[in-house]
Chain A
Amino acid sequence: MAASAGYQWRRDKDGLGVWEHRGKVAVAGFGHSPVDRRWDEVSMDKTIGAYSILACQKAMDEAGVTADQVDGVICCDSHIAGGSGGTASQWAPRPYFAPPYDSELGLTLVNAQWLTEQLGLRNVKFAPTGVPTISEMVGMASQAVGDGVCSTCLVIYPTGNLAGRYRRGGENADDYARGARQWVAPWGNHGGNDFINSFPHGQYCRKYGGKHDDLAPFVVNQHRNGLMTPWGYNASHNVPQLTIEEYLNSRYILNPLRLWDCDRPVNASTAYLFTTAERARDMKQPPVYVLNHSQHSFRKRSTQEDLDEIEEWTDRAAKRMYEGAGLGPNDVDIFNPYDGYSIMTQFFLEGFQWHGVKRGDSFAFYAGDIRVEGPHPLCSSGGNLGTGRLRTAMYTDSIEQLRGTAGARQVKVRAETALAAFTTPSSGGWIMFGKHPN
């Protein structure tokens, strides 16, 4: 298996023009494992490894692809809750189990090599290591298939969750602040998307005249969409519909950020099968074409990114994506930005100007009709807030909407293009899907 060392696959610069493989790569299948709140530490068929194997099998079955046809496997090692270390993120020192669960692999980590062995994939020639997030993984798969590095590529994103509070332990339990943390942790910033976005969100409210509670209709609608998403946590666990009152009365985490502004860590895995458009046309499902992928990694000026920086970054990310796809804001039917914390989605919505939303317009937009049945079906997946911390709802929903198989979530407006992301304003990536290759 070849690694990705030296492979220049990213589209992470301004002015790259239309993507050279636009419409020549497609998603031919996807698979979701069940979604549990945590691994119960007993059921070996519910480990993050078992769930990743299951998701891959589902994706291959859906596309009608055999194990021998797969020649690419892209899998991040782990995005387990408790990523700061300590007992929440590692199985050791507890004793391991019989193979293949005789190490952290399959329990808290999943990688391409382990999955390739478990799935009996004999013809894998592209299995990169060190792949960071789903947003980059789908871009890497798109470019690799377009470049001919591989032709039938599984993309697997596991998100595990063991017992314990989210990211307690490890360096967060340390009395000392080392490395980059010396500039933030003494004052209380433990890092994460909540801190990245909380201060710009406060500046946003002051600049444009909104208040934090204006997020309530958006959060509640995310939960509503999530209850129409059968492969998500909320729908599969009969979570009651969140109400505005419950949202407003929920406890604060980083005031004004409340509990329900945050996603729910889960134990689950999702897989996608990317292939050439030509091959996809002969597979079992209608192809969903990739019209562009783009990445960004913007560097903040100082300790804390501010509203000006975040607005500039999201403007640039939108410009890159639209330029590469040869499309503009008015061409995007399905819009699935990231919502792991509710306070960041407005920056993406306004940067990409979906449905004409300009800077400062988001809260008024949220107060309108954003239901999937309505004229502005924002985040039709329900996102992380409505389905759990899968970080893949945005992608699967986009695929289902373009196929016309989103069930109760199927939008009533046109569904021929879809924009999806798992990203922060500063780093991550976007992907544009099309029902048609052109």
Chain B
Amino acid sequence: MPKLIPVADALSKPFWDAVNQRQLVLQHCAACDRLQYPPQQACQVCNSPAGLTWKEVEGKGHIAAYIVIEDGRLNRRMPDQPYNLAMVTLDADPRVNFYSNLPGTPPYKVPVGAAVEVTFEEVAPDQLIHEWRVA
């Protein structure tokens, strides 16, 4: 069963457009020199929208923690159970983190602390999502 399909909105459209081009772009505040994800209307630090631009980042990170979903509530994901859900920090700024099911890593066999690289996975025709694989 495929994953839930993200529905882009005005704020997130640049992000998902980039993902569909197999690129990882994040908001960057020029004033604070900070990356932020998920995108927001303003910089989380200076609260200003003025300095926010989209910046491509290198898709490298590390696994910080994980759980295994055995009895979740999402109908669409139930056939996948059990599956990993990891928290991945971005090397370019470890304050930024992502979720990942770690494709290629069997459930329960998650190497916490290991390096990961971004990959892209189709969840619907013309819709990719960002995922992470152990490097």
Whether B65 contacts A202 by the Cβ 8 Å rule is yes
Give the most central of B74, B76, B98: most A CB within 10 Å.
B74
Residues 152 to 202 of chain A near chain B (Cβ within 8 Å): 165-168, 172-190, 198-200, 202
How close is B51's CB to chain A, nearest CB, in angstroms?
A: 17
In the assembled complex, the Cα of A181 lies from the Cα of B69 at a distance in Å of 17
Q: A301-B95, A302-B36 are in contact. Are A187 and B85 (CB under 8 A)?
A: yes
Residue A252 CB within 8 A of the other chain: yes
How distant is the Cα of A254 from the Cα of B73 in the complex, in angstroms? 11
With A177-B5, A202-B67, A255-B82 known to touch, is A190 a contact of B72 (CB < 8 Å)? yes
Contact B73 A255 (CB under 8 A): no
Interface status of A238 (Cβ within 8 A of chain B): no
On whether A254 and B76 interact (CB within 8 A), knowing A299-B44, A302-B96, the answer reads no
User: A306 contacts B64, CB within 8 Å?
Assistant: yes
**Contact-size category for B:** 35 or more
Contact in complex: B65, A203 (CB < 8 Å)? yes
| B59-81 contacts to A (CB < 8 Å) | 64-77, 80
Instruction: Tell me whether A251 is interfacial, beta carbon within 8 Å.
Output: yes
Contact with A along B91-112 (1 / 0, CB 8 A): 0000111111100000010001
Contact with A along B1-27 (1 / 0, CB 8 A): 001111111001000000000000000
Whether the pair A190, B71 counts as a contact (CB closer than 8 A) is no
| Nearest A-chain residue to B95, judged by Cβ | A301
In the complex, residue of chain A having the shortest beta-carbon distance to the beta carbon of B71: A253
> Which residue of B has the minimal Cβ distance to A253?
B71
Chain B residue at smallest Cβ distance from A206:
B112
- In whole angstroms, how far apart are the Cα atoms of A137 and B44 in the complex? 28
Checking B3, B70, B95, B112 against A302 with a beta-carbon cut-off of 8 angstroms, the contacting residue is: B95
In whole Å, how far is A19's beta carbon from the nearest beta carbon of chain B? Answer: 28
Contacts of A189 in B (CB 8 A): 85, 99
Q: A437 near B: Cβ within 8 Å? A: no
Given contacts A173-B75, A303-B38, contact A255 B4 (CB under 8 A): no
Cβ contact within 8 Å between B73 and A172: yes
B95 and A186 form a contact (CB under 8 A): no
Cα distance, A175 to B99, chains bound together (Å): 18
B70 and A176: CB pair below 8 A?
no
A182 and B37 alpha carbons, distance in the complex (Å): 12
Known: A179-B9, A186-B129. A302 touches B97 (CB 8 A): yes
Query: Which B residue's beta carbon lies closest to that of A252?
Result: B70
Looking across the interface, which residue of chain A has its beta carbon closest to that of B34? A301
- Our pick among B4, B9, B70, B101 for the contact of A185 (Cβ within 8 Å) is B4
In the complex, which residue of chain A has the Cβ closest to the Cβ of B97? A302
CB distance A255 to B68 under 8 Å? yes
Q: How far is the CB of A262 from chain B (nearest CB, A)?
A: 10
Chain A residues, Cβ within 8 Å of B97: 302-304, 306
- Residues of chain A within 8 A (CB-CB) of B77 are 188
A347 to chain B, nearest CB (A): 15
Q: Given known contacts A176-B4, A183-B38, is B87 in contact with A199 (CB within 8 Å)?
A: yes
Interface: A236 (CB within 8 A): no
In the assembly, what is the distance between CA of A176 and CA of B76, in Å?
9
CA distance A179 to B2 in the complex (A): 19
Smallest CB separation, B105 vs chain A (Å):
13
Question: B6 touching A188 by the CB < 8 A rule?
Answer: no
What residue in chain A is nearest B68 (Cβ atoms)?
A255
Contacts of A183 in B (CB 8 A): 6, 37-38, 99
Residues on the A chain within 8 Å of B38, using CB: 180, 182-183, 302-303
Q: Known contacts A176-B4, A185-B4, A255-B108; decide if A304 and B99 are in contact (CB<8 Å).
A: yes
Please encode chain A, from 250 to 269, with 1 for each CB lying within 8 Å of some chain B CB and 0 for all others: 01111111000000000000
B90 nearest in chain A by CB position: A302
Q: Could you tell me if B73 and A190 are in contact, using CB atoms closer than 8 angstroms? A: yes
Residues of B with C-beta under 8 A to A174: 4, 75-76
Instruction: Say whether, besides A172-B75, A303-B37, A187 and B99 are in contact (CB < 8 Å).
Output: yes
Q: Are B3 and A255 in contact (CB under 8 A)?
A: no
Q: Which of B83-135 contact A (CB under 8 A)?
A: 83, 85, 87, 95-101, 108, 112, 123, 129
A255 in contact with B7 (CB, 8 Å): no
Q: Please give the distance in Å from B36's CB to the nearest CB on chain A.
A: 7
Q: How far is the CA of A178 from the CA of B8 in the complex (A)?
A: 8
In the complex, whether A84 has a CB less than 8 A from a CB of chain B is yes
Known: A306-B64, A306-B97. 18 other contacts (CB 8 A): A165-B73, A166-B73, A174-B4, A177-B5, A180-B38, A186-B3, A186-B123, A186-B129, A190-B74, A199-B64, A206-B112, A253-B71, A254-B68, A255-B70, A302-B36, A303-B97, A303-B98, A306-B87
Residues on B facing A (Cβ under 8 Å): 3-9, 12, 36-38, 44, 64-77, 80, 82-83, 85, 87, 95-101, 108, 112, 123, 129
Which 10 residue pairs are nearest across A and B when measured between Cβ atoms? A187-B99, A182-B6, A202-B65, A255-B68, A183-B38, A177-B4, A199-B65, A186-B3, A190-B73, A252-B70
Binding site for B on A (CB under 8 A): 84, 165-168, 172-190, 198-200, 202-203, 206, 251-257, 299, 301-304, 306
